[in-house]
Amino acid sequence: MSRVSLIIPCYRDAATIARALESVYRQTRPVEEVIVVIDCSPETKEIERVLKVFPHVVLIKHAVNLGLAATRNTGVKAATGDIVTFLDADDELHPQKIELQAQLMDGDSAATCAVQKVFPGRAPCVPSVYHGSGRVRTVTSTGRMLLANYLTGASLMIPKALIDRVAGYDTSLRSCEDYDLWLRLLESGVKVRKLDRPLYIYHINPTGLSKDLQSISYWELEVLQRYFARREKLGYGAQYVWAWWMLKHLVRAEANCHAELKARTETNIETLQGSALLRWGLKALNGSRVLSLCAVLK
């Protein structure tokens, strides 16, 4: 049987790390190794006090803050298992998460799952036990991923050899490093099997990194820029991918009344190459009732 190493990157998570670890130790299929990597956190002492209750955890501490991508890479490098998986320190796992995802693994594939989003003050609403294998969708190309990152990075389970083959997470990315990794894995020939069970429980943090809308929008475009830079022939469809993301960012800015993001997106539209018609269409939608309706529906 394969050895599974579970990696938990940790920063300001002293208040939630115990909940995360408790969910790991409730697994119906235990992992062989749990690695916590503290990224030079101001809460390091508090986190270490919590970890005393979990003596089997492998603890690694960064001397300087390196960011989430580098922290995950540190865990992967230290892992002794032939399969690695992840858990953010403010989230938790359904008890069958490891068991059901491990059943999808083979030498050239990665596994992910659906996600249950939990708002502050709420409890997860998922079945205590899943019966049957559930539906599995296999993703083999970057196609739809160019329009939206619909694979959850934190729920990734993958042979260590495959993530090493693409050199892990890109440490120059301060956000969207999971989106970039998915694209590079798919480009390298890795098949991704997504289980429809919500086995990863994502606790929404109103002050978390994912809520910095201007930053995340910037890094989404940076990931796409790097993707297209790796392609010798972009094809006519590339400009439509860019236009789609411009539209998404306009809707995001409208839905959140984010003036700075709107201004940045308007600038990006002006630099959109290849089609004056696309630029005209985006400008026409900007500020229109259609855009407002999209923002409400979002």
Share of the chain above pLDDT 70, in %: 90
Mean pLDDT of 76-94: 98
Residues 176, 36 within the same domain: yes
3-state secondary structure the chain: CCCEEEEEEECCCCCCHHHHHHHHHCCCCCCCEEEEEECCCCCHHHHHHHHCCCCCCEEEECCCCCCHHHHHHHHHHHCCCCEEEECCCCCEECCCHHHHHHCCCCCCEEEEEEEEEECCCCCCCCCCCCCCCCCEEEECCCHHHHCCCCCCHHHCEEEHHHHHHCCCCCCCCCCCHHHHHHHHHHHCCCEEEEEEEEEEEEECCCCCHHHCHHHHHHHHHHHHHHHHHCCCCCCCCHHHHHHHHHHHHHHHHHHCCCHHHHHHHHHHHHCCCCCHHHHHHHHHHCCCHHHHHHHHHC
% of the chain beyond a pLDDT of 90: 62
**Same domain, yes or no, for 151 and 272?**
no
Give the span between the Cα atoms of 123 and 112, in whole angstroms: 22
**d(Cα 25, Cα 195) in Å, to the nearest integer?**
22
Single residue among 203, 218, 248 that ends a domain in this structure: 203
pLDDT in tens, 94-113: 999 999 999 999 888 999 99
Region of poorest pLDDT, from 53-57, 102-106, 151-155, 204-208: 204-208
Domain identity same for 129 and 79: yes
Q: What is the pLDDT of residue 207?
A: 63
Shared-domain flag, residues 95 and 169: yes
**Total structural domains in the chain?**
2
**Contacts (Cβ under 8 Å, ≥6 apart) of 221:** 245, 268
Residue 43 shares a structural domain with residue 181: yes
In a domain, 74, yes or no: yes
Q: In whole angstroms, what is the distance from residue 294 CA to residue 298 CA? A: 6
Which of 52-56, 73-77, 95-99, 103-107 is predicted least confidently? 103-107
Q: Which residues contact 98 (CB under 8 A, 6 or more apart)?
A: 4, 6, 27, 28, 29, 30, 31, 85, 157
Say which CATH number the domain at 80 has: 3.90.550.10
List the domain range (segments joined by +) for residue 85: 4-203
Q: How confident is the model at residue 46 (pLDDT cuts 50, 70, 90)?
A: very high
* pLDDT at site 209: 45
Residue 263 in any domain: the answer is yes
165 and 262 both lie in a single domain: no
269 with 162, same domain? Answer: no
Is the pLDDT assigned to residue 254 strictly greater than 60? Answer: yes
> Is the domain of 132 the same as that of 186?
yes
Residue type, 212: D
226 within domain boundaries: no
**167 and 288 fall within a common domain:** no
Asked if the structure places residue 286 within a domain, the reply is yes
Q: What is the mean pLDDT of the chain?
A: 89
The answer to whether residue 54 sits within a structural domain is: yes
Indicate whether 248 and 180 sit together in one domain. Answer: no
Last residue in a domain, options 156, 184, 203: 203
Q: Is 218 within the bounds of a domain? A: no
Q: Identify the weakest region by mean pLDDT among 5-19, 152-166, 223-237, 241-255.
A: 223-237
- If asked whether residues 66 and 171 sit together in one domain, one would say yes
Q: How far is CA 140 from CA 109, 147, 180, 184, 203, in A?
A: 10, 15, 15, 12, 29
183 and 245 both lie in a single domain: no
For residue 220, tell me if it sits in a domain: no
Q: Is residue 213 part of a domain?
A: no
Report the alpha-carbon angle 163-165-171, nearest 5.
60
Question: pLDDT tens for residues 231-251?
Answer: 866 555 788 888 888 888 888
Domain boundary among 152, 184, 203: 203
- Min mean pLDDT across 138-147, 188-197, 202-211, 286-295 is at 286-295
